[in-house]
């Protein structure tokens, strides 16, 4: 076989130097290593970083992606490795597509996952269009997930390192997007390997801490962000037992989440109580015993299906599902209602299933991801 027709490491039948790849650079160690690795392999690398919110505020913000210091770090990596780097102002797009929905969902009593919406609506949509405009053959990211070629095209698979796997946050990646995306770190076994590569390439971000917060929510204080975005949102109301007893008052539904036990301010009761429902219309936080949190049937909508057969080609699918990013997949039966809606029956009940969270589908055995959808109301 002629060397010109061999597939390079990104899957193209041409030399790396003739393959342009846009790398989505957050300024963290993961995406920096991806960019450096591809540059060293000889690819035509173009680094792109998104400015997602106010740059002045961002400069003082640490521990979240896409902050001002991170833009500086990404640019420095590009300078070190000798490839061009661009910063795109996506502040308005991010506000409209992610932050506003986050605020509205929270006010409606849901527990949103804005990082998924950011991947879906900004990074894998508008940013991907920019990559195409730049003439790139593909776009690479530092996500820990694998893209493998199956009999019917590109498949999404969990990362080799279960502790780093980010498949929960990437379930809405469409087949078309998957054709264009590359995830060069998905096969690594540990984060230490990534940091070792960063040191190998002489990157100053080698020991930079991982981002922990949602980028626009400092210190995980959701309520203060919601109050700033939606003044007057924190209206007081009653804390009510599921049996109808009024147990106390609260300073706003936005301060509570389904499954919460601590910080309810209703001490002195014999049995522990948990938040089992948020009644936004009546400004009530409903509490009850732990068993009330158990859920078997979960309505799911906005489904993105990544199976080989059409989602509605079967009456039901036996899959494993994950209803929180920190929980392992559980066996379930997924019954399609339409191409984008389903009823998910958990074979063993889960606690604290909350509207606004994702329900991600996995193969019962093996690493393949079959997509997923959004939990839209509790039963």
List Cβ<8 Å contacts ≥24 apart for 35-38. 35/77, 35/78, 35/81, 35/83, 35/140, 36/77, 36/80, 36/81, 36/197, 36/198, 36/201, 36/203, 37/184, 37/197, 37/201, 38/10, 38/140, 38/184
Contact 178, 16 (CB under 8 A): no
Catalytic residue among 115, 118, 138, 359: 118
Question: What token pair was written down for 242?
Answer: 């599921």
Token pair, residue 296, equals 């078997």
The residue whose two tokens read 């109808």 is 244
Ramachandran angles phi, psi of 231, nearest 5°: -55, 135
Give CA–CA dist 60/47, Å, rounded: 23
Q: Are 282 and 237 in contact (CB under 8 A)?
A: yes
123-133 CB burial, b ≥16 within 10 A, e <16: bbbbbbebbee
- Residue found by looking up tokens 């797009």 in the block: 93
Environment class of 149 (CB within 10 Å of its CB; exposed 0-12, middle 13-18, buried 19+): exposed
Does 138 qualify as catalytic in the annotation? no
Residue 157: exposure state from Cβ atoms within 10 A (0-12, 13-18, ≥19): buried
Decide: helix, strand or coil at residue 351.
strand
Phi, psi of 356 (to 5 degrees): 100, -20
Q: What is the DSSP annotation of 275-330?
A: EEEEETTTTEEEEE-GGGGEEEEEEEEEEEE-SSS-GGGSS-EEEEEESSTTS--E
- 118 an active-site residue? yes
Residues with catalytic function: 118, 215
């Amino acid at each position: 076989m002629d060397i010109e027709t061999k597939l390079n490491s990104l899957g193209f039948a041409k030399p790396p130097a003739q393959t342009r790849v846009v790398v989505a650079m957050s300024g963290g160690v993961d995406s920096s290593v991806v960019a450096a690795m591809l540059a060293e392999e000889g690819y035509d690398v173009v680094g792109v970083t998104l400015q997602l919110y106010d740059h002045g505020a961002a400069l003082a913000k640490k521990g979240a992606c896409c902050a001002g210091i991170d833009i500086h770090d990404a640019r420095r990596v590009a300078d070190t490795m000798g490839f061009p780097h661009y910063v795109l102002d996506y502040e308005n797009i991010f506000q409209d597509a992610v932050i506003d929905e986050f605020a509205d969902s929270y006010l409606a009593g849901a527990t949103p996952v804005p990082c998924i919406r950011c991947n879906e609506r900004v990074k894998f949509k508008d940013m991907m269009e920019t990559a195409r405009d730049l003439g790139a053959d593909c776009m690479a990211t530092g996500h820990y997930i694998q893209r493998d070629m199956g009999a019917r095209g590109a498949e999404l698979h969990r990362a080799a390192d279960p502790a780093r796997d980010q498949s929960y946050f990437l379930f809405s990646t469409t087949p078309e997007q998957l054709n264009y995306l590359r995830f060069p770190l998905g096969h690594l076994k540990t984060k230490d390997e990534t940091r070792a590569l960063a040191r190998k390439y002489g990157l100053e971000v080698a020991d930079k801490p991982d981002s922990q917060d949602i980028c626009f929510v400092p210190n995980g204080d959701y309520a203060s962000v919601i109050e700033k975005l939606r003044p007057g949102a924190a209206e007081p109301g009653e804390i009510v037992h599921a049996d109808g007893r009024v147990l106390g008052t609260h300073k706003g539904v936005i301060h509570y989440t389904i499954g919460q036990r601590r910080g309810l301010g209703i001490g002195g009761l014999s049995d522990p109580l948990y938040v089992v429902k948020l009644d936004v219309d009546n400004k009530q936080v409903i509490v009850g015993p732990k068993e009330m949190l158990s859920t078997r049937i979960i309505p799911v909508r906005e489904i993105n299906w990544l199976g080989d057969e059409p989602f509605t080609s079967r009456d039901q699918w036996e899959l494993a599902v994950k209803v929180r990013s920190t929980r392992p997949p559980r066996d379930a039966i997924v019954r399609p209602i339409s191409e984008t809606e389903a009823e998910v029956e958990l074979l063993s009940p889960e606690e604290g299933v909350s509207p606004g969270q994702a329900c991600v589908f996995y193969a019962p055995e093996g690493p393949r991801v079959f997509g997923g959808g959004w939990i839209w109301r509790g039963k």
